[in-house]
């Protein structure tokens, strides 16, 4: 799958130059904003047990953007490896799925200004990680198609990297002892652990190996749409709505209390 995705992304990137551009007009005409979000990564995007719909922090931002445009929101589930192909093949208008802004991705898609920031961290079984160097000898699980994979290989060249489809898969591998640690963005790992009944057996060691900015992914070259999304994000921050969305998922009363370190518009 990884090869397949990389190859597709490449082919699509080459061919996409042929596609026409003004997506903002198309969205307004059709009255529907198509957004890809995660369906397995609380609290960013997950299937809510009661409503059976995708909900989460990313979804709240997507709703705000759809409201700003005055159109209906249509969500499509995605996974880390699918995000770029969905955008390039014109299957969705936006990707809000914990999408880290990188120069490599920016060659194939547009990015908005960041709306979230996180550092890459690890989950290990409690007490097993004595020093960071241990990671160089361990088997470490990552999500394929993520930035985390590259950072891990660069920072811990000795680690045996095992790539999984999604973070919950990787965590199952950790639970079963196939790997000794898994790595992902800290808030995502904390969100995951919050739903695990025996979370006392695990820990997120207090160090980060990168600092990632999360943005909205848009089709390449769609300047007008990118501008609207940026404006919306800035407005959400100035009106206090961004803080409210954050508090819904990471506020002190939630399962995953986390201090807000990054505000939209901050320089990293």
| Residues within the interface to other proteins (CB under 8 A) | 1, 4, 8, 11-12, 15-16, 18-19, 39-42, 46-47, 49, 51-53, 76-78, 82, 85-86, 88-91, 166, 168-169, 171-172, 192, 195-198
- Residue closer to other proteins, measured from CB, 81 or 159: 81
Rounded CA-CA distance 92/76 in Å is: 8
- Residue closer to other proteins, measured from CB, 169 or 262: 169
Tokens 């953007």 -> residue: 65
- Residue closer to other proteins, measured from CB, 114 or 187: 187
- Residue closer to other proteins, measured from CB, 176 or 259: 176
Q: How far is the CB of 1 from other proteins (least distance, A)?
A: 8
Cβ pair 43, 97 in contact under 8 A? no
The residues facing 265 across adjacent strands are: none
Helices 223-238 and 241-250: crossing angle in degrees, nearest 10, is 80
Q: How far is the CB of 91 from other proteins (least distance, A)?
A: 7
- Residue closer to other proteins, measured from CB, 114 or 217: 217
Q: How far is the CB of 168 from other proteins (least distance, A)?
A: 4
Longest C-alpha distance within the chain, in Å?
58
Q: How far is the CB of 31 from other proteins (least distance, A)?
A: 17
Q: How far is the CB of 15 from other proteins (least distance, A)?
A: 5
- Residue closer to other proteins, measured from CB, 15 or 224: 15
- Residue closer to other proteins, measured from CB, 73 or 159: 73
Q: How far is the CB of 195 from other proteins (least distance, A)?
A: 5
Q: Cα angle at 27 between 34 and 37, to 5 degrees?
A: 15
Q: How far is the CB of 57 from other proteins (least distance, A)?
A: 15
Rounded CA-CA distance 152/141 in Å is: 10
> What are the DSSP E strand ranges found in the chain?
32-38, 40-41, 45-47, 54-55, 72-78, 94-100, 109-111, 116-125, 139-143, 160-164, 181-185, 202-203, 211-219
> What are the DSSP E strand ranges found in 16-156?
32-38, 40-41, 45-47, 54-55, 72-78, 94-100, 109-111, 116-125, 139-143
| DSSP element (H, E) containing 241 | helix 241-250
């Amino acid at each position: 799958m990884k090869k397949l995705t990389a190859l597709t992304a490449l082919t699509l990137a080459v061919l996409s130059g042929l596609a026409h551009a003004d997506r903002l007009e198309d969205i307004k005409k059709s009255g529907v904003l198509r957004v890809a979000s995660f369906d397995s990564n609380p609290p960013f995007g997950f299937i809510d047990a009661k409503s059976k719909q995708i909900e989460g922090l990313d979804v709240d931002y997507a709703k705000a953007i759809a409201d700003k445009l005055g159109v209906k929101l249509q969500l499509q589930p995605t996974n880390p490896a699918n995000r770029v192909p969905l955008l390039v093949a014109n299957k969705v208008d936006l990707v809000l799925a914990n999408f880290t802004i990188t120069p490599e991705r920016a060659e194939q898609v547009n990015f908005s200004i960041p709306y979230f920031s996180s550092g890459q961290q690890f989950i290990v079984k409690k007490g097993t990680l004595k020093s960071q160097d241990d990671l160089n000898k361990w088997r470490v699980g990552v999500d394929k198609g993520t930035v985390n994979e590259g950072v891990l290989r660069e920072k811990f060249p000795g680690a045996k990297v095992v790539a999984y489809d999604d973070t919950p898969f990787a965590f199952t591998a950790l639970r079963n002892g196939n790997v000794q640690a898994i790595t992902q963005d800290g808030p995502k790992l904390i969100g995951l652990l919050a739903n695990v009944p025996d979370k006392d057996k695990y820990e997120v060691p207090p160090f980060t190996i990168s600092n990632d900015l999360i943005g909205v992914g848009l089709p390449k070259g769609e300047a007008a749409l990118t501008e609207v999304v940026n404006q919306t994000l800035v407005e959400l921050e100035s009106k206090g709505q961004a803080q409210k969305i954050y508090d819904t998922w990471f506020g002190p009363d939630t399962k995953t209390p986390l201090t807000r370190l990054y505000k939209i518009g901050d320089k990293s």
